[in-house]
Amino acid sequence: MPNDHLTAASVEPPADERTPEQLLRIIFDYTAKIANEKSLSNVLLHMADMGREMILADRCTVWLIDRRSRELFTTVAHGVDEIRIPLGTGFAGYAIETGEPILIEDAYNDPRHNAANDQKTGYHTKSLITVPFVGNDGSILGAYQAVNKRSASSVFTNRDLEHLTLAASYAGKSLESVMLHEEIAATQRDLIVAMGEIGESRSKETGNHVKRVAEYSYILAIGCGLSHEEAEQLKIASPMHDIGKVAIPDAILQKPGKLTEEEFEIMKQHTLIGYSMLKSSGRALLNIAATIALQHHEKWNGAGYPHGLSGEDIHLYGRITAIADVFDALGSDRVYKKAWELDRILALMQEERGRHFDPALIDVFFEQLPKLLTIREQYQDKLISP
Ligand SMILES: [Fe+2]
Ligand SMILES: [Fe+2]
């Protein structure tokens, strides 16, 4: 097996246990790798490798709890695809439920062993260790499981159990912080989509407006050289540009004709309201959304609202969303107007180059037009019969 840790040992007869130097080296190497890892599946893979190398196990898996489906699951590791079992079953379920580690010499003598998996995979489980993982608040996050010792007897010892417990405590903190990070990011995404849809339904904008604006923003961001990560953030945040409309009266939002001056003053407030709704969270993604809500009606020549900013004083995300939003609004039916033909829309986009819109971004817009039109086609509004 091509592995640094084994090179030193390979000239000596196979040993059942690591020397203290080898153990330290393995722990040192893997905890450094795990601490630098941002993706949950990679953390789990490194943990499985670390456990296997430390105690010379044939296989090592990390079980996590899926509370929503009340299952335990393992990710792909050491030749095993994802497995899901009901919470509370098997050795892992037992260790997680009781918080106690398990050391078994022969799994087939124990009623908790589920032989069905062995039958399916043709693998023979003999000796096994399962150690629960505890998070910062004392709650159990999952379990570490090692199967079959790579030694003549194939049986794990109490020392192996101690070492795997050690591995669990070293890796547990990093695992918990990566899980928390993923949870927060997922929650933010869900909230943003939900809130964007509220703004959309209040102003009775056409069904897929926010989705198209999100996709257009992504394409324009990539087109002007932003990284995939940045473009992705913009795509998630831009659907919230009109969230402040939740506070604007229906009589104004749904007025079929032109707004009076006073009504327009009230309408303009949706930018400031959206900004103040989003800005206080301090989360990066919501900060971006706040800026977009505030600036999506600013114009390159300073004639926009609410602050009359001009040129690059308007955040790039605000300038991108302005193009995406107007391009889409012109092509859609609204309470106050019919959808425009594409030619007329494109003529206006060009005419407003350097006036409403950032000239460099309008160039990107025309370069990316085929992709934008594909999105327009793909997320068409459903025709509703009158
Ligand atoms: Fe708006
Ligand atoms: Fe909009």
* Residue intervals in the chain for CATH 3.30.450.40: 4-178
Cα 293 to averaged position of ligand 1 atoms, centre (Å): 7
Q: Global pTM?
A: 0.60
Structure confidence by residue, pLDDT tens digits, 2-60 = 444 433 334 443 567 888 888 889 988 998 898 888 888 888 889 999 999 999 999 89
Instruction: Give the confidence band of 333 by pLDDT, cuts at 50, 70, 90.
Output: confident
CATH number for region 4-178: 3.30.450.40
Cα 226 to averaged position of ligand 2 atoms, centre (Å): 22
Q: Which of 245, 258, 268, 382 is catalytic?
A: 245
211 alpha carbon, closest ligand:
2
238 alpha carbon, closest ligand:
2
200 alpha carbon, closest ligand:
2
Structure confidence by residue, pLDDT tens digits, 226-280 = 999 899 999 989 988 988 988 899 889 888 888 999 999 999 999 999 999 888 8
CATH 3.40.50.300 fits 192-378, yes or no: no
* Alpha carbon distance 171, 54 (integer Å): 13
Backbone angles phi, psi at 224, to 5 degrees: -100, 20
Structure confidence by residue, pLDDT tens digits, 126-162 = 999 999 988 878 888 899 999 999 988 888 999 999 9
**Is-catalytic flag, 245?**
yes
* Residue intervals in the chain for CATH 1.10.3210.10: 192-378
Q: How many residues does the chain have?
A: 386
At residue 235, the pLDDT reads 92
Sheet holding 71-74, edge to edge: 83-86, 71-74, 57-66, 140-149, 128-134, 102-104
Cα 248 to averaged position of ligand 1 atoms, centre (Å): 11
CB 118 within 8 A of CB 124: yes
| DSSP sequence for 31-82 | HHHHHT---HHHHHHHHHHHHHHHHTEEEEEEEEEETTTTEEEE-SBTTB--
Across the range 304-316, mean pLDDT stands at 97
Cα 311 to averaged position of ligand 1 atoms, centre (Å): 19
231, containing H or E segment? helix 228-237
Across the range 91-105, mean pLDDT stands at 92
